[in-house]
């Protein structure tokens, strides 16, 4: 049998539901005369990690099996592996995939970076829930700023917008309402992400793919999703394949000359 003879070829492709079905990544095979190339297209504005599990019959994978690969942002035809027949006779392959935002393999977090408070100069707000808060932040490095609906939200750090959800209008203080959270997600140059949640319905002022500067107006605050009252939920994290690793970060306070880890129930002024 030559590679051109396809009568004995059995090819079955199996897809697993990805970690997030909204992630714009496509995995596929492409055949040439002597092999199959297994490729991925990433239409997102951040890296996407993909785990591929091949089931190979009389075939071999040039880059191994059951591994995680990182597909760069806005990339077409990223080569994951080459699949070749081992010997004459029938041959086939199947594959399963799962994927998620971020670089699962190599993120060096800039732990010295100091964030700006996510509101405008002159504003003063209370941190209603801090890191590892007892209400909804158990075992999580996340922050809640109490603020009226419609408050201007500013980027605490620059980056590129990778996700915008602003169409939801439901609110309740039950975990099942988390699916209604309106959110803006920004990807940073060190590989981390920041999330601004519970923004108002149609309250986003930026779009996916937009480059954001630190201190730029990005949204109007709200009380949407899993929420007990008007506030901004802010979180910085490193996204692994199946786990979000939230990160504790410092912020500039007062005139900007002092940087601290914010403390629950304290009031913070931004005068810079």
- The domains located in the chain, with CATH, are 9-101 (2.60.40), 114-269 (2.70.70.10)
Cβ–Cβ < 8 Å for 216, 155: yes
Give the chain's residues under pLDDT 70: 1-21, 133, 137-138
**d(Cα 30, Cα 158) in Å, to the nearest integer?**
38
Predicted model pTM: 0.88
**d(Cα 15, Cα 26) in Å, to the nearest integer?**
10
For 139-165, how does the pLDDT look when each residue is reduced to its tens digit (9 = 90+)?
789 999 999 999 999 999 999 999 999
pLDDT for 8: 33
pLDDT for 135: 72
**Token pair listed for 125:** 């707000």
pLDDT for 154: 98
Find, among 52, 19, 17, the residue nearest to 243 by Cα: 19
pLDDT for 178: 86
Place of tokens 């971020």: 102
pLDDT for 14: 37
Place of tokens 């692994």: 240
Place of tokens 């609906």: 149
Find, among 9, 15, 12, the residue nearest to 35 by Cα: 9
For 7-60, how does the pLDDT look when each residue is reduced to its tens digit (9 = 90+)?
333 343 333 334 445 899 999 999 988 899 999 999 999 999 999 999 999 999
**d(Cα 176, Cα 155) in Å, to the nearest integer?**
28
CA 79 to chain centre: 22
């Amino acid at each position: 049998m030559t590679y051109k003879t396809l009568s004995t070829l059995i090819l079955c492709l199996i897809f697993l539901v990805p970690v997030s079905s909204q992630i714009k990544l496509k995995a596929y095979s492409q055949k040439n005369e002597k092999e199959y190339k297994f490729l991925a297209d990433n239409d997102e504005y951040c890296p996407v990690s993909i785990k591929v599990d091949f089931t190979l019959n009389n075939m071999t994978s040039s880059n191994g099996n059951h591994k995680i690969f990182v597909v760069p942002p806005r990339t077409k035809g990223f080569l994951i592996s080459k699949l070749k027949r081992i010997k004459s006779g029938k041959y086939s392959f199947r594959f399963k995939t799962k994927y998620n935002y971020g670089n699962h393999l190599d993120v060096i977090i800039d732990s010295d970076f100091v964030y700006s408070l996510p509101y405008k100069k002159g504003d003063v707000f209370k941190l209603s829930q801090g890191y590892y808060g007892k209400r909804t932040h158990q075992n999580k490095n996340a922050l809640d700023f109490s603020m009226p609906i419609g408050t201007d939200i500013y980027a605490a750090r620059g980056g590129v917008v990778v996700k915008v959800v602003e169409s939801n209008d439901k609110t309740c203080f039950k975990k099942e309402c988390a699916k209604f959270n309106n959110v803006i997600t920004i990807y940073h140059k060190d590989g981390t992400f920041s999330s601004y949640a519970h923004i108002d319905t149609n309250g986003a002022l930026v779009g996916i793919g937009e480059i954001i500067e630190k201190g730029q107006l990005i949204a109007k605050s709200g009380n949407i999703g899993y929420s007990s009252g008007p506030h901004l939920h802010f979180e910085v994290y490193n996204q692994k394949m199946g786990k979000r690793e939230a990160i504790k970060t410092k912020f500039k306070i007062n005139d900007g000359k002092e940087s601290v880890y914010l403390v629950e129930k304290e009031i913070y002024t931004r005068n810079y």
